[in-house]
Structure 1
């Protein structure tokens, strides 16, 4: 796994790592079940503070891209699991916003269907 940090970038290092690992997972270069380097090892390889890499791993775990199994380490999640969790999170956020706006369920569903039809 090759991760490159651009010190001149306005994007923080933890986000650069997150984007690169996510891209490696999407491309299949990092397959489901693949073990990631330990936080300390990746931090040492990239000459970053361990807290920077730890934040990256937390963000990736929150996104459902990786899972941490205690002392066993961090592994790439199975794609269906991540997509399902992310899809449900998006739906939950949409429902919360619709409720805040006072829009009923039938209208909310029609908005989603219209968006799907237009994206087609």
Structure 2
């Protein structure tokens, strides 16, 4: 059982290092399978978000020497969900949890993509210019 868990952790780590590769594989593979490019793009976004969250959390921890990366990301996602839920309740009088989760998850894709690029540039710069 431990060997399976280690294999899953290593696979996740390899895929999360360069998330554009799994994104492209899912986009073209799933898009070709279902013959719907929009659905393939959404599926690629959803899966890549999970990879980006882990990678950005580790990059944050390494750059800033903290252990708050994952918790900070989850905190912002929860705060965003709460704000969206409040806005939805005020507008419609009821809350659609599935829609809120999907919206936060997809917004997280764009946020994590931006942070991934930013943190990678900072990390490479820090590595190059510090001895």
Report which of the two has the higher share of strand.
1
Larger radius of gyration between Structure 1 and Structure 2: 1
TM range (shorter): 0.3 to 0.5
- The TM-score with structure 2 as length reference comes to 0.32
Larger RCO: Structure 1 or Structure 2 (Cα < 8 Å, ≥ 6 residues apart)? 2
Report which of the two has the higher share of helix.
2
